[in-house]
Amino acid sequence: MAELIVISTLNGVLFGMLLFLLSSGLTVIFSMMGVLNFAHASFYMLGAFFGYQLTRWIGFWPALVIAPLLVGVVGMGVERYGLRNTHKHGHVAELLLTFGLAFAIEEIVSMIWGKSPVDYRVPAALDFPAFTVFSTNYPAYKIFMLVVSVVIFIALLVTLKRTRVGLIVQAALTHPSMVGHLGHNVGRVFMLVFGVGSALAGLAGVIAGPSLVTQSDMAALLGPILFVVIVFGGLGSLPGAFIASLLIGLIQTFAVALNGSLASVFGPLDPSLGASPLTDIWNVTIAQIAPILPYLLLVLVLIFRPMGLLGTRES
């Protein structure tokens, strides 16, 4: 049991940090531009595929730097030539633009790299067990992922607190309309922020790619969860996104570890009741519903605390 708890905590934190790498960019973009970027997870996927391709050409370590930058450039292009032109049609149009983009990116990726998973491997330098807990190996690469996530997290904090762009971003988080009214002056900041947000997603892709499966549907697998994270944490709140990421990471991993169902707690239902949705609910285990727990949480949060955990704004 102790083993399960230790491993699940590690895994949960790791998954949570990965979620945070993605949701931080999404949150900042949303706060500043009011755009919920549907294509954010697609940038994550692009990062993984760029990382894969560059790893084959120039090795993992250069790829770790270059691939996120490339994704950032793609993101800036999307902002400059797409979103900026759509802005006049309102936020819904912007959101729909990114929606269409997510569609297109998925197809482009599967067109170029195929629909099967690509062979994106953990670099040899990190392909060893870092330590062993209760006879379970914990791979060094996962520790590496954890370290990168934490470093980025700290870097993000410092940037936000210490730089001019950071100050503008912070202003945007608390007074979005004010920054919005600054209008043209922040055009470049928007582009930069969008680029950085995309690059962060790209970085998450580069480091998650070898650990998870790099495949053209990986964006669709993670995308909806991201929205849960940022709504759950409170739209526009970075600390909220952080807590929500960790919480959802932990909930998902721990739920899997549990076997409990209503039947195991209260005993099986009378068989004479026959098959009905009640028996389905009664017999389903927590592990079975682990991946839908985030959505359940989302709905509950929106009912009882519509602004999310740490949010201050309602929309």
Give, as ranges, the residues between 101 and 140 that touch other proteins (CB under 8 A): 101-104, 106-108, 110-112, 114-117, 119, 121, 129, 132, 135-139
Our CB check for other proteins shows the closer of 43 and 141 to be 141
Contacts with other proteins in 36-75 (CB under 8 A)? Answer: 36
Structural tokens at position 29? 């973009």
Nearer to other proteins, 5 or 65 (CB): 5
CA distances in angstroms from 41 to 85, 115, 121, 198, listed in the order given: 22, 17, 21, 9
Q: Which of residues 280-309 bind other proteins (CB under 8 A)?
A: 280-281, 284-285, 287-292, 295-296, 298-299, 302-303, 306
With the C-alpha atoms ordered 223, 314, 149, 39, is the resulting torsion angle positive or negative?
positive
Minimum CB–partner distance for residue 160 and other proteins (Å): 22
State whether the Cα torsion 92-95-97-100 is positive or negative.
negative
- Write the DSSP string, 93-118: HHHHHHHHHHHHHHHHHHHHH-SSPP
Query: What is the dihedral sign for C-alpha 189, 165, 13, 127?
Result: positive
Q: Are 26 and 42 in contact (CB under 8 A)?
A: no
- Give the residue with the Cβ less far from other proteins, 162 or 270: 270
**Min CB(1)–other proteins separation in Å:** 8
Among 257, 262, 263, 309, binds other proteins (CB under 8 A): 257
Q: Which member of 11, 149, 198, 261 binds other proteins (CB under 8 A)?
A: 11
User: Shortest Cβ distance from residue 186 to other proteins (Å)?
Assistant: 20
Distance CA 80, CA 25 (A): 17
Tokens of 188: 């470049």
| Nearby residues of 223 by Cβ (< 8 Å), 6 or more positions away | 38, 40, 41, 42, 102
For other proteins, give the closer residue by CB, 99 or 153: 99
Q: Considering beta carbons, is residue 162 or 271 the nearer one to other proteins?
A: 271
Site for other proteins in 74-103 (CB under 8 A): 82, 85-86, 88-93, 95-97, 99-103
In the bound state with other proteins, the residue whose beta carbon lies nearer, of 132 and 265, is: 132
Q: Which of 169, 114, 130 is nearest to 7 (CA)?
A: 130
x-or-dash string of contact with other proteins, 157-196, rule CB under 8 A: ----------------------------------------
The least CB distance from residue 280 to other proteins, in Å, is 5
The smaller minimum CB distance to other proteins, of residues 10 and 165, is found at 10
Cα angle at 195 between 28 and 217, to 5 degrees? 90
